[in-house]
Structure 1
Amino acid sequence: MDTLAKLRTGQLAGLKRLDLSCGLTEFPVEIFQLAESLEILNLSGNALSSLPDDLHRLTRLRILFCSDNQFTELPASLGQCAQLSMIGFKANRIESVPGAALPPLLRWLILTDNRISQLPEELGQRPLLQKLMLAGNRLQHLPQSLANCERLELIRLAANQFTELPSDLLALPGLSWLAYAGNPLREDASAHRQADNTPDIDWSQLALEHKLGEGASGIIYQARWNAPGQVAQSVAVKLYKGSITSDGSPLNEMNACIAAGQHPNLIKVLGRVVGHPDNQAALVMELIDPSFINLAALPSFDTCSRDVYADSTRFTCDSALRIARGIASAAGHLHAQGICHGDLYGHNILFNAQGECLLGDFGAACFHAIDDSLHSRALQRIEVRAFGILLGELLERIDSGLSDQQRASLQDLQQRCTQPDVLARPDFVHISQELA
């Protein structure tokens, strides 16, 4: 309310970003006082159901968030905003998405957790579209025009009503990160075979100590596990949330973690929690040594689908190659289990100074048939492109020990992993052989 009061008294002149969450039921017209400066407008967490028809008066507006409101239709006035490139309307009641609501420079669209059953053909006429978040809706099909979106790199389709994935989608030359769990697709049941081998750990054996971190799907705590007849040990416990995230259902994530099995470059699952007083789903995992840190930070508004690395991030040749080999090996292991990670990114990799690494965060993981069909091959090669991007990021930051011949060889591999012909990319077996 203090921000709104300042806005109304003209104290925020020249502001570039405005955040207003104070039970709004109508768009404050005073916002137009910032027409010549405002670039980012966040109206999430209100009770709005409409936006003004002349929203385009905010001539510099690039980013708009209206999540957790009461919209039933994506406002058509968005389409008249010439500079608008990122739109977020998560967790509303949206059923209708008019083509006129999609601005010409649209790059990043978030419509997670709504009631959408159909998207307009105009979506495929937005050539800059790079990131599309559609988890938790009622979609059975995608517009055929989406095949034209050659820059589309990330799409989230989890928890919808797809019975099959569109073949045009799997052929997109830029697609690198795909999530589709929680749809009525024909999944290979053998991909779940690891689940039966996971021991149950009673909640009474766990003593939570302090929070290690929190993500969209859950909260991770350090804990003491007092198993009967064994020495108490420090572990990590992830308590899963029940709500739909941008990637999909946290329970799908838990199932994928279990089915992944054990691998040196995956965080080890020790057991599934039973007997939680609120029936909350949870996993017990090995506690990672504090010397491990995140390889990169999450993408920014500007980078959209690319991770952000600290300026100081540099690797020796040996440590960079060790990271690349470890992640390629982990991804190959997952594919052999019929799992695509779906979010193979630097920000989901933990590493230490020696190049030891762990691939985490299965929030976007999905199952596929364990066969060599064109469908399964395409799903796996989409993930190969994500690895190719990661390999390029590592190569850019090697400051010693890499010969010209090695660099040329690795750059050639990187280019083959990211080439536009999806099925022509190598698989992780061949990638691991070359890296070795």
Structure 2
Amino acid sequence: MDTLALLRAGNLAGTQRLNLACGLTEFPPEIFELADTLEILDLSGNAFSSLPDDFGRLHKLRVLFCSNNQFTELPAVLGQCPQLSMIGFKANQIRHVPAAALTPALRWLILTDNQISELPAELGLCTRLQKLMLAGNRLTALPESLVACTRLELLRIAANQFTALPDWLFSLPCLSWLAYAGNPLCEHNETAALTQNPIPHIDWASLSLRQQLGEGASGVIHQAAWQPSAEQHDVAVKLFKGALTSDGLPLSEMAACISAGAHPGLINVHGKIHDHPENAIGLVMALVDPEFRNLAGPPSLDSCTRDVYAADTRFSLDTVLRIAHSIASAAQHLHARGIMHGDLYAHNILHNDAGKSLLGDFGAASFVADSGRAQALERIEVRAFACLLEELLTRCDTPDAALQGLQQRCAHTDSAMRPLFTEISQTLIALQTLAVA
């Protein structure tokens, strides 16, 4: 029996998590029979345009996903659920967000790929908010009341209509992961970056795709053989999907990858695919040795903004210093080229047992549009580095007091007091030297 049939037969009593994706147009009333246990409800991929007026009967609900439906308004009835902390309504047709829909427990709000032009000032009352994902809407501004959301760590406003970033944004003490590419405020920089960083065109006919290596929100990566001449090279090919992601636009990602240039802590880009039979856009990149693996997994529903590491993950101090310096140096290089990575996380870092690391995934990368804001934007990314360093130190066999001090400086609640990546890199080199001595 499928899940809907089991639900209607009364066979799901005691369920804490329920997923229903079967073209539904009306809310199954049998869901209310799970009210005393249901915590996570996923109704994505249906044809809902509303929720029942008594939706608040689901008094234990913590997480609700309603992506890829037909809502034109964020349902006000969500506000009836006192424990609802994660709301996901990606890829609907939402134009209006009523204040009544916002819950005091809200930590994670996903409204990506809708038609929203304005958010209510009451969003600032959601002081537990940590993640706010708004890419692909029609916003020109954010409510200034968000300055009260001092726990906000991740903000996605790419592919909207912003002509400037608000001043108050730089006063948020915990903001660490910011993506704003694809807005009028940085369109010129994206275009100029591609002009100033020409990249070789690689004919599709010279590539032979092999096994798939991975798939992300923005594209699919394959291992491939590249034969530009008599000599053949093993490479990685990323074909972009062309659709909006939760972080932004694939074209913005490609512009950032091309403009990043060469660095030991980045994956080298060989060229841009030319003459694809379906006009797909893509990049040809260096093939990463299979000994490299992800440093951690992405955040879970419970961890919200923190990556999830394998339970037995441990690092020596030497490995921590190597990883930290490699990533700080890569970030220093990117900011020197006017690029904010926007997603500096362990799950976007590949590493091997020797501590060599590569920072990947430029899906949230943004060009620094205002040189006067360059250091302020960099210090936001430094806070992301502080989170990474904290995670590494927590799993370090012999944590170092000086390294802990650096982490605390990078995490300073007054962003102006944080060091820049140049200083961070220099400090880490000095600490590596002392560790060897």
Q: Mark yes or no: TM-score above 0.5.
A: yes
State the partner residue of 2:170.
170
Q: Partners in 2 of 1:339 and 1:38 — Cα distance? A: 43
Q: Does 2:95 match 1:59?
A: no
State the partner residue of 2:214.
213
Q: Partners in 1 of 2:196 and 2:145 — Cα distance? A: 39
Within 5 Å, which residues of 2 pair with 1:266-415? Answer: 266-369=266-369, 371=371, 373=372, 375-400=373-398, 407-415=400-408
Secondary structure class of the residue paired with 2:184:
coil
Residue pair 2:197, 2:258 contacting (<8 A) in 1 also: no
Within 5 Å, which residues of 2 pair with 1:190-269? Answer: 192=193, 196-228=197-229, 230-269=230-269
Residue pair 1:191, 1:370 contacting (<8 A) in 2 also: no
Distance 1:370 1:335, change over 3 A: farther
Distance 1:194 1:91, change over 3 A: same
Q: Read off the aligned partner of 2:143 and give its amino acid letter.
A: P
Residue pair 1:191, 1:338 contacting (<8 A) in 2 also: no
Q: Partners in 2 of 1:189 and 1:342 — Cα distance? A: 15
Q: Partners in 1 of 2:386 and 2:166 — Cα distance? A: 24
Residue pair 1:298, 1:307 contacting (<8 A) in 2 also: yes
State the partner residue of 1:424.
417
Distance 1:189 1:241, change over 3 A: closer
State the partner residue of 1:106.
106
Q: Read off the aligned partner of 1:125 and give its amino acid letter.
A: L
Q: Please list the CA deviations of residues 11-61 of structure 1 after superposition, one character each: whole Å capped at 9, or x if unmatched.
A: 111111110011111111110010111000000000000001111101110
Q: CA deviation at 1:196?
A: 3.7
Q: Partners in 1 of 2:293 and 2:71 — Cα distance? A: 40
Distance 1:60 1:91, change over 3 A: same
TM-score, normalisation: structure 2: 0.96
Secondary structure class of the residue paired with 1:79:
helix
List runs of 5+ in structure 2 lacking aligned partners. 430-437
Secondary structure class of the residue paired with 1:197:
coil
Of the structure 1 ranges 196-205 and 352-361, higher mean CA displacement relative to structure 2 is found in: 196-205
Q: Partners in 2 of 1:198 and 1:316 — Cα distance? A: 39
Within 5 Å, which residues of 2 pair with 1:112-191? Answer: 112-186=112-186, 188=189
Distance 1:16 1:195, change over 3 A: farther
Q: Does 2:35 match 1:24?
A: no
Q: CA deviation at 1:395?
A: 1.0
List runs of 5+ in structure 1 lacking aligned partners. none
Q: Read off the aligned partner of 2:127 and give its amino acid letter.
A: P
Q: CA deviation at 1:427?
A: 0.3
State the partner residue of 1:435.
428
Q: Please list the CA deviations of residues 364-397 of structure 1 after superposition, one character each: whole Å capped at 9, or x if unmatched.
A: 00001484x2x22111100000001111111111
Identity %: 64
Distance 1:351 1:194, change over 3 A: farther
Of the structure 1 ranges 16-25 and 1-10, higher mean CA displacement relative to structure 2 is found in: 1-10
State the partner residue of 2:435.
none
Secondary structure class of the residue paired with 1:399:
coil
Distance 1:174 1:326, change over 3 A: same
Residue pair 1:222, 1:235 contacting (<8 A) in 2 also: yes
Secondary structure class of the residue paired with 2:310:
coil
Secondary structure class of the residue paired with 2:185:
coil
Residue pair 1:266, 1:360 contacting (<8 A) in 2 also: yes
Moved over 2 A (4+): 186-191, 193-197
Q: Read off the aligned partner of 1:378 and give its amino acid letter.
A: A
Q: Please list the CA deviations of residues 132-151 of structure 1 after superposition, one character each: whole Å capped at 9, or x if unmatched.
A: 00000000010010000000
Of the structure 1 ranges 195-204 and 173-182, higher mean CA displacement relative to structure 2 is found in: 195-204
Secondary structure class of the residue paired with 2:302:
coil
Q: Partners in 2 of 1:193 and 1:199 — Cα distance? A: 12
Q: Read off the aligned partner of 1:376 and give its amino acid letter.
A: A
Distance 1:59 1:370, change over 3 A: closer
Q: CA deviation at 1:183?
A: 0.1
Secondary structure class of the residue paired with 1:381:
helix
Q: CA deviation at 1:188?
A: 4.3
Residue pair 1:338, 1:370 contacting (<8 A) in 2 also: no
Q: CA deviation at 1:197?
A: 3.0
Residue pair 2:85, 2:108 contacting (<8 A) in 1 also: yes
TM-score, normalisation: structure 1: 0.96
Residue pair 1:194, 1:261 contacting (<8 A) in 2 also: no
Measured on the aligned residues, the alpha-carbon RMSD in Å equals 1.3
Q: Partners in 1 of 2:13 and 2:149 — Cα distance? A: 38
Q: Please list the CA deviations of residues 195-225 of structure 1 after superposition, one character each: whole Å capped at 9, or x if unmatched.
A: 6431110000000011000000000000000
Q: Read off the aligned partner of 2:422 and give its amino acid letter.
A: V
Q: Partners in 2 of 1:255 and 1:196 — Cα distance? A: 9
Q: Partners in 2 of 1:52 and 1:306 — Cα distance? A: 34
Residue pair 2:194, 2:255 contacting (<8 A) in 1 also: no
Distance 1:191 1:422, change over 3 A: farther
Secondary structure class of the residue paired with 1:129:
coil
Q: Partners in 1 of 2:370 and 2:286 — Cα distance? A: 28
State the partner residue of 1:11.
11
